[in-house]
Amino acid sequence: MRTLIIHNPRSGFGSDAVFQFERALVHGGDECVLRMLSEEFDARAACADVADFDMVVVSGGDGTVASLLYALRGTGTPVCVFPSGTANLLAANIGNAPEPSALARACRVGKTDDLDLGEVSWDDERGQRHTRGFALMSGTGFDAQIMQAALPRKAVMGQAAYFAAAIAHPRPAVERFTITVDGVTHEREGITCLVANNAMIQADIELVPGCRMDDGLLDVIMVKTSDAAHLLAPLALGLVDRTGRALGRPHLEAFTGREIRVEVSEPVPFEVDGDVVPGLVRAYEARVLPGAARIVVDAMSPYGSEDDGSSRFGDSDVIAYPR
């Protein structure tokens, strides 16, 4: 097997887990290229020779992984998402067993599922057009403000930096949003509008029930409260009802669709998979790229099959992660 591991050494806390993974992955006769990304990497250049490999492993935080998956879209090469970042929300949403040896085993078993990606386009303040891919979610408003405020402390505090930033901004601005989903327009007021390929956030809370990345649809999530205490309500309910099926999600409204346009009454900060883009944004378009990423999944993943051998202990019949 020829494997390409693309690793961002600046992601997360500089863990060496990816090297343990590489050691567990390679057997006699294998070849493995470990490509370390530089600070200002070009995702397309990093993936340019992917046709020479049987498998690609993308290792980094959610921003790194999403840019690499977007560069690899439609190539049909199996990709394993290796969690090396601070939050690793995409890996959590894929749901594979996260240990390096378990992920190495899933790569060797080679079971994959074709999962959706999202693509967003917007004009910056000088009228220049930008397009980027996303794997988790993009958002305008309060969430982008929090991501921006969390940046300086992320290296030290990890995920807690996001919560600290949220507490430091207790009165988010209310904007008017015009949301067009597959040609149908909705007018709403609120603090943020998210377009999501995945709706599971920190602490395994699903913002909206039943969001999947293999249904060819994006979820649009409107946060309608202006009060940080109200914002805590869906999150607190999330802790007792993680899927949202029993108690619902107060102050949140969700739509699903393939082509989405979001316009905001005032220019607002904009984030794509946790990366805040420079400047402010008035409007953006998002569309789904159905089944664009061929992702390695194991029996623990909601996208895997019940028992494909990837989660067995050794050669025994004992399944490590029964559902």
Nearer to Mg ion, 165 or 260 (CB): 260
Could you tell me the smallest distance in angstroms from the CB atom of residue 47 to Mg ion? 24
Spatial separation of the C-alpha atoms in residues 74 and 152, rounded to whole Å = 35
| Residue 208 exposure: Cα atoms within 13 Å on the Cβ side | 22
The Cα 33–Cα 89 span in angstroms is 26
Residues that bind Mg ion (CB under 5 A): 215, 217
Q: Which is nearer to Mg ion, 286 or 299 (CB)?
A: 286
d(CA 202, CA 92) in angstroms, rounded, equals 9
At closest approach, how far in Å is the CB of 5 from Mg ion?
Answer: 28
State how far the Cα of 283 lies from the Cα of 140, in Å rounded to an integer. 9
In the complex, least distance from residue 114 CB atom to Mg ion, rounded to whole angstroms: 13
CB of 252: closest distance to Mg ion in angstroms? 16
CB of 113 to Mg ion, least distance (A): 13
**Shortest distance (Å) from residue 139 CB to Mg ion:** 16
- 245-276 as b/e: b if 16+ CB within 10 A: eeeebebbbbbbbeebbbbbeeebbbbbbbbb
Rank residues 195 and 223 by Cβ distance to Mg ion and give the closer one. Answer: 195
Distance CA 282, CA 266 (A): 6
| Nearest to Mg ion of 30, 215 (CB atom) | 215
Closest distance between Mg ion and the C-beta of residue 314, in Å? 36
Q: What is the spatial distance between Cα 172 and Cα 146, in angstroms, rounded to a whole number?
A: 10
Q: Minimal distance in Å, beta carbon 288 to Mg ion?
A: 7
Nearer to Mg ion, 6 or 92 (CB): 92
Closer by beta carbon to Mg ion, 217 or else 296: 217
CA distance 169 to 134: 26
Q: Which is nearer to Mg ion, 219 or 271 (CB)?
A: 219
CB atoms inside a 10 Å sphere around CB 157: 15
Picking from 52, 56, 178, 195, the residue whose alpha carbon sits closest to that of residue 133 is 195
User: Is the CB of 217 or the CB of 276 nearer to Mg ion?
Assistant: 217
| Dihedral angle sign, alpha carbons of residues 87, 17, 132, 297 | negative
Least distance CB 93 / Mg ion (angstroms): 11
Q: Quick count: other Cβ atoms within 10 Å of Cβ 170?
A: 10
- Whole-angstrom CA distances from 206 to 115, 197, 210, 240, 253 are 18, 12, 8, 11, 13
Q: Which is nearer to Mg ion, 50 or 217 (CB)?
A: 217
Extract the tokens encoding 320. Answer: 């490590």
